[in-house]
Chains A and B, each alone.
Chain A
Amino acid sequence: EIVLTQSPGTLSLSPGERATLSCRASQSVSSSYLAWYQQKPGQAPRLLIYGASSRATGIPDRFSGSGSGTDFTLTISRLEPEDFAVYYCQQYGSSRGWTFGQGTKVEIK
């Protein structure tokens, strides 16, 4: 099973600031199969990024993804009030199992 480790656990930032979230895999992940999700309290997750760097339909361009191999990054260029939430990375498409990272909470400073 591939283990995904996200850092930091919590990111305290102000609206308008830049957020950089990290996801590190225990073994190499194909970039084609790395996604990022956003989850707000009481809601189901929402797909933001797939294939490591492609934005899902309707996702603002302030969200961007990058990385390859074992190191991946989600960047939010300028935080809007609605962006404060928990973010998860996920590797998918492997018969060894689909796995999520433990999440990074982006909170208002």
Chain B
Amino acid sequence: QVQLVESGGGVVQPGRSLRLSCAASGFTFSSYGMHWVRQAPGKGLEWVAVIWYDGSNKYYADSVKGRFTISRDNSKNTLYLQMNSLRAEDTAVYYCARDGGKIGLKPIGYWGQGTLVTVSS
């Protein structure tokens, strides 16, 4: 069955960096677009970024553009999110999620359980 397991969350000071990872299994990772979606404590869902199945295209929410980078290693079945210049408002649970297709034209069908990132001094 499809499994997405995030790691790398924790407490980080404002202005610092953090890299999240998402280990995928149970499906052909290189055939699907992948997303990061976040949820601040007690708040709604916010889409963060998407990467196409082959890594050729990436799109970002305006709130993270220029600070976050999504990437993938299809040989390792792993998705990444490099987060730089972190701000307090980036505090959230970060979900790794699988698109229903290759290039983000399908809804998200599978989600990980999330990893909490707390930005605080």
Contact = CB atoms under 8 A, between A and B. Distances in A.
B25 interface: no
Given A1-B62, A44-B95, A92 B106 contact: yes
Nearest to B4: A44
A96 B5 CA distance: 28
Interface stretch (A21-29, A77-85, A98-106): A98-106
A92 B62 contact: no
Interface residues of A, number: 24
A86 B45 CA distance: 11
Interface in A65-109: 86, 88, 90, 92-93, 95, 97-103
Interface residues of B, number: 23
B27 interface: no
Nearest to B45: A100
A99 B106 contact: no
A8 interface: no
Interface of B: 35, 37, 44-47, 50, 59-62, 95, 100, 104-109, 111-114
